[in-house]
A and B are shown apart, each in its own frame.
Chain A
Amino acid sequence: MRRKKDRPRETNPDKTALTRRDFLKGAGVTVSGGLLVGSKAADAAPAPPEAGVVGPGAVPVTLRVNGKVHKLKLEPRVTLLDALREHLDITGSKEVCDRAVCGSCTVMMDRKPVYACTVLALEAEGHEVTTIEGLAADGKLTPVMAAFVRHDAQQCGFCTPGFVMACTALLERNPDPSLEEIEKGLGGNLCRCGTYWGIRHAVLDVAKGMKGGAYGKV
């Protein structure tokens, strides 16, 4: 194998970050800072103060989650999902794809469903965040949860909270969805065990029981 003395590009945090492509370009011997290079982050010199600019170090954040106010100090890069799971120990929302595809991290912001993995915690400030824990705060199952149990719409259960959130949001917006609307609306959630059959029936069942737009008012 050809050897090439290709010293690593500088990974000094103050310098411009390299992309992975930059160091993968070299063949033969390659020195890399891991899969992905260039941390200019953690100890970057503080930016000159500019109006309204915060970070990159931790900044105070106030999150309102399930009706409760939490004061935290977080770096701007911390996602809402990580803030919930790692800082607040609210772990119903799961980290799975971590790239806004699978829906396991779904929470509601002002009752609208979002992928918490791609919401910055800072961006959740000023909004009411509802996690699955907040849907059944009194320990009683919501109609959607109860339907999931009844229709066995869960196996390992890891996608389940995300699905329950997405179903709840869908039904709050559209209490009487067609099958096509369910399939499109829940198209942002993935399950690996294959519980879609039960989920489909659970949603139709709840919708049927809630005809007339009553969902969410019960």
Chain B
Amino acid sequence: MEAFEYASPNTTRDALQLLGSQWGEIEILAGGTDLISAMKDRITTPKRVVSLKKIKGLNRIEFSERSGLRVGALVTIQEILDNQMVREHYPALREAADGIRGEQMRHMGTAGGELLQRPRCWYFRNGYGQLAEYQGKSLVPDGQNRYHAILGNSGPAYFVNASSLAPALIALGGKVRLHGPDGEREVELGKFYTTPTKEGEREYVIKPNEILTEILVPPPHGLRMAVYEVREKTALDWPLVAAAVVLHMKGRTVKSARVVMGHVAPVPWPSPEAEQAIEGKTVTEEVAEEAGKAAVSKATPLSQNGYKVRLAQVAVKRAILSAMKGEA
């Protein structure tokens, strides 16, 4: 790893003073599993690392019936798993967290870091950038793309967003609170992720001089929800695809639905098509099946990842059925 200077300020305000305006010059450190690994791989070589660990209040997790859930950026995955309110009111969030494996990752990994983790794309991790460009073109379309995007992949980015929590949080209507030099702002997670068009851009709208401090999730009244992941291993690994489903029920009918897929596109991928396929309907196996099909109706698989279209379809179907489990 390159040498860097380090600071661990006590307040968000102090931390903001230490940030800069260029991505990659300064990195913000939370759990460290992704950042330190990325620094060892020279994916990022910051000259300064600003740790958030000493900032008080970022590790709080709070719930109220009226305002919903607030998860501080430094709340660990284990704390999400252990939280009784999450268990009771946001089972999909818990399921998403449960996909993050290993005692260590769960204790080190933070909610904020999980949302801001960089892509796992093996071209990226081997030093070829998010866009995997080599000799003027992307290595992905003609290369080893079994894990790459099946949606939102018209280029130049082909990687998939790696977050496990984001699809569930987006489906729940979650927001993030960002602190910057000009104060704070809230951004809907559904609008938080972007697909980079140039090398060096990041995969989200947060600016290099901003800090993600908190995740806000609206109250869960009358919702049924689930996350379904298709994985190669039970052990620590990123899923092949995932689907998060949140259903607002009216009696036995789906009044409105949110369906968001993970690991299928450079951003968490909401599917209005799937939502439409179930809204106003009573969920049956067939309805779920149709929603799955609708979710991938616009998929444009690459040379090796056609199977992920099937997996995404199945994940959406199973997430819907799982959300309805226990419904008479």
Q: Do A and B bind each other?
A: yes
Tell me if B129 and A41 are in contact (CB < 8 A). Answer: no
Which of the segments B40-48, B167-175, B277-285, B293-301 contacts the partner chain? Answer: B40-48
Tell me if B2 and A77 are in contact (CB < 8 A). Answer: yes
B197 interfacial by beta-carbon distance below 8 Å: no
A21 interfacial by beta-carbon distance below 8 Å: yes
Tell me if B133 and A21 are in contact (CB < 8 A). Answer: yes
Specify which of B1, B5, B32, B42 is in contact with A54 (CB 8 Å cutoff): B5
Tell me if B14 and A40 are in contact (CB < 8 A). Answer: no
Tell me if A118 and B37 are in contact (CB < 8 A). Answer: yes
Q: Shortest distance in angstroms between B104's beta carbon and chain A's nearest beta carbon?
A: 5
B194 interfacial by beta-carbon distance below 8 Å: no
B102 interfacial by beta-carbon distance below 8 Å: yes
Say whether, besides A19-B42, A20-B42, A55-B3, A169 and B103 are in contact (CB < 8 Å).
Answer: yes
Within 73-130 of A, Cβ neighbours of B (below 8 Å) are at 75-77, 79, 98-101, 103, 106, 112-115, 117-120, 122-123
- Nearest residue, chain A, Cβ from B35: A118
- Nearest residue, chain A, Cβ from B15: A52
Tell me if A41 and B102 are in contact (CB < 8 A). Answer: no
Residue of B104, B105, B234 with highest tally of chain A CB at under 10 A: B104
Alpha-carbon separation in the docked complex, A38 to B43 (Å): 12
Tell me if A186 and B51 are in contact (CB < 8 A). Answer: no
Report chain A residues within 8 Å CB of B2: 17, 38-41, 77
- Nearest residue, chain A, Cβ from B37: A99
Alpha-carbon separation in the docked complex, A186 to B126 (Å): 27
Which of the segments A43-51, A148-156, A210-218 contacts the partner chain? Answer: A43-51
Tell me if A42 and B3 are in contact (CB < 8 A). Answer: yes
Say whether, besides A44-B3, A53-B7, A114-B108, A189 and B102 are in contact (CB < 8 Å).
Answer: yes
Q: Shortest distance in angstroms between B229's beta carbon and chain A's nearest beta carbon?
A: 12
Tell me if A47 and B104 are in contact (CB < 8 A). Answer: no
Tell me if A77 and B51 are in contact (CB < 8 A). Answer: no
Specify which of A40, A52, A118, A184 is in contact with B101 (CB 8 Å cutoff): A184
**A: number of interface residues (CB 8 Å):** 56
Main secondary structure of the interface of B (DSSP, over half): mixed
B236 interfacial by beta-carbon distance below 8 Å: yes
A166 interfacial by beta-carbon distance below 8 Å: yes
Report chain A residues within 8 Å CB of B107: 112-114, 169
A6 interfacial by beta-carbon distance below 8 Å: no
**B: number of interface residues (CB 8 Å):** 53
Q: Shortest distance in angstroms between B18's beta carbon and chain A's nearest beta carbon?
A: 7
Alpha-carbon separation in the docked complex, A21 to B233 (Å): 30
Say whether, besides A53-B6, A115-B108, A187 and B236 are in contact (CB < 8 Å).
Answer: yes
Tell me if B4 and A118 are in contact (CB < 8 A). Answer: no
Report chain A residues within 8 Å CB of B133: 21, 25
Report chain A residues within 8 Å CB of B6: 53-55, 59, 76, 120, 122
Tell me if A188 and B105 are in contact (CB < 8 A). Answer: yes
Alpha-carbon separation in the docked complex, A115 to B14 (Å): 28
Report chain A residues within 8 Å CB of B36: 79, 100, 117-120
Q: Contact flags (1/0) for B10-26 with A, using CB distance below 8 Å?
A: 00001001100000000
- Nearest residue, chain A, Cβ from B76: A112
Q: Shortest distance in angstroms between B164's beta carbon and chain A's nearest beta carbon?
A: 13
Report chain B residues within 8 Å CB of A63: none
Alpha-carbon separation in the docked complex, A42 to B136 (Å): 33
Alpha-carbon separation in the docked complex, A98 to B133 (Å): 26
A199 interfacial by beta-carbon distance below 8 Å: no
B127 interfacial by beta-carbon distance below 8 Å: yes
Say whether, besides A186-B102, A190-B235, A76 and B40 are in contact (CB < 8 Å).
Answer: no
Q: Which residues of B contact A (CB under 8 A)?
A: 1-9, 14, 17-18, 29, 32-37, 39-43, 45, 47-49, 51, 53, 78, 98, 101-108, 126-129, 133-136, 199, 233-236
15 A–B contacts, CB within 8 A, in A order: A21-B127, A24-B128, A36-B42, A47-B48, A76-B3, A76-B5, A100-B36, A114-B108, A118-B35, A118-B37, A119-B36, A122-B6, A166-B103, A188-B236, A189-B102
Q: Which 6 A/B pairs are nearest by Cβ-Cβ distance?
A: A188-B102, A41-B3, A20-B127, A187-B101, A76-B6, A56-B3
